[in-house]
């Protein structure tokens, strides 16, 4: 079920995907009280106008400026006019470390998930979520060091069919319940983000995740031009709780992909004795900064 990612070594040339790259990032301070997180299905950088433009996705990501971003439908296809590796490109233009997870490996390239993070990555693994007869799927399971705490981040993209999603949710919950390997530190909190493709509300896979991790905010993110379905979700478990969850609705985000990004703040609040409730959606209005579009 697991595939370990090889961590980078200083001075060694890394393969373009399936690596956690140590890019130049801001130094991590000893105490971090709040972490901005986001999940975003980038639709292989093809916008609603059917135009391939990684620069638009890069600009949206830089506007959000998340400390941890989980991306779905990241592409690295060969033999076309597209950039060879969207993982490497988006990591470079955002100045984040990259963890790549591929669900599909084929002759023309790879396709899957990514985590972009400004924090040191202690370890990363792939969790096989493939269901026989359906498109291959995987999740990334990574441990990050945030100050003196360990945050376990799971980035996933569930299937299009109800039976797939139920099995995939059960598999992730089983993994969370397994004993840790001897070389891993116990996480202080768990963050699970991704496109769950569950259009039926709190049914099926959502019910399973809610039962284990607590309820998530049902924010409408799809389709980007007129969002009616809450396909993208953010879950948090442990002393860290989600605050200020909102959909990023900038004019550029409405065109860059068929999903809108879902953003929230993960706040460390160990002394909060209140029972876990669903994060409330923020009514925040997006006013993106004036920036020059990144090159595509």
**Amino acid 204: pLDDT:** 80
User: Is 178 exposed, middle or buried (CB count within 10 Å of its CB: 0-12, 13-18, 19+)?
Assistant: exposed
- Protein fold of 29-268: Deoxyribonuclease I; Chain A (3.60.10)
DSSP assignment of 116-155 equals EESSPEEEEEEEE---TTS---EEEEEEEEETTEEEEEEE
**Amino acid 269: pLDDT:** 62
CA distance 128 to 170: 12
Distances (CA, A) of 252 to 14, 37, 68: 32, 19, 21
Residue ranges with strand state E in the chain: 2-4, 34-41, 68-77, 97-106, 109-117, 121-128, 138-146, 149-157, 189-195, 232-237, 240-247, 262-268
Strands 189-195 and 97-106: unpaired
The candidate with the shortest Cα–Cα distance to 157, out of 172, 139, 174, 176, is: 139
Distances (CA, A) of 77 to 12, 92, 108: 24, 18, 6
The candidate with the shortest Cα–Cα distance to 40, out of 280, 261, 288, is: 261
Alpha-carbon Rg for the chain in angstroms: 18
Complete edge-to-edge strand list for the sheet that includes strand 34-41: 97-106, 109-117, 68-77, 34-41, 262-268, 240-247
pLDDT at 139 over 70: yes
- The domains of the chain are located at 29-268
CA distance 233 to 223: 15
The pLDDT tens digits of the residues spanning 19-58 come to 344 444 444 444 668 899 999 999 999 999 999 999 999 9
Q: Are 242 and 236 in contact (CB under 8 A)?
A: yes
pTM for the whole structure: 0.82
pLDDT at 123 over 60: yes
Candidate from 195-204, 243-252, 269-278 with smallest mean pLDDT: 269-278
157, two tokens = 């993209």
CA distance 282 to 264: 9
The pLDDT tens digits of the residues spanning 145-169 come to 999 999 999 999 999 999 999 999 9
CA distance 230 to 245: 13
């Amino acid at each position: 079920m697991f595939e370990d990612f090889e961590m980078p070594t200083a001075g060694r040339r890394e393969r373009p995907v399936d690596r956690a790259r140590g890019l130049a990032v801001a130094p991590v301070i000893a105490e971090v009280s709040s972490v901005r997180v986001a999940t975003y299905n980038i639709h292989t950088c093809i916008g609603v106008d059917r135009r391939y433009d990684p620069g638009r996705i890069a600009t949206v990501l830089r506007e959000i400026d998340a400390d941890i971003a989980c991306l779905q439908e990241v592409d690295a296809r060969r033999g076309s006019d597209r950039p060879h590796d969207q993982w490497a490109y988006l990591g470079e233009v955002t100045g984040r470390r990259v963890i790549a997870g591929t669900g599909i490996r084929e002759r023309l390239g790879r396709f899957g998930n990514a985590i972009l993070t400004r924090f040191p990555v202690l370890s990363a693994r792939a969790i096989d979520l493939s269901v026989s007869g359906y498109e291959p799927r995987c999740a990334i399971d990574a441990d990050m060091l945030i100050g003196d705490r360990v945050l376990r981040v799971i980035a996933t993209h569930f299937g299009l069919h109800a039976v797939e999603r139920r099995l995939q949710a059960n598999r992730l919950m089983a993994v969370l319940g397994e004993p840790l390997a001897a070389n891993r530190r116990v996480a202080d909190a768990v963050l699970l983000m991704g496109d769950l493709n569950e259009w039926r509300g709190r049914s099926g896979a959502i019910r399973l995740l809610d039962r284990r991790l607590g309820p998530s905010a049902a924010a409408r993110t799809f389709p980007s031009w007129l969002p009616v379905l809450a396909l993208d979700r953010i879950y948090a478990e442990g002393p860290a709780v989600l605050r200020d969850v909102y959909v990023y609705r900038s004019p550029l985000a409405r065109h860059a992909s068929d999903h809108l990004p879902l953003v929230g703040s993960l706040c460390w609040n160990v002394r909060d004795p209140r029972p876990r409730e669903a994060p409330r959606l923020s009514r925040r209005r997006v006013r993106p900064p004036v920036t020059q579009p990144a090159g595509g």
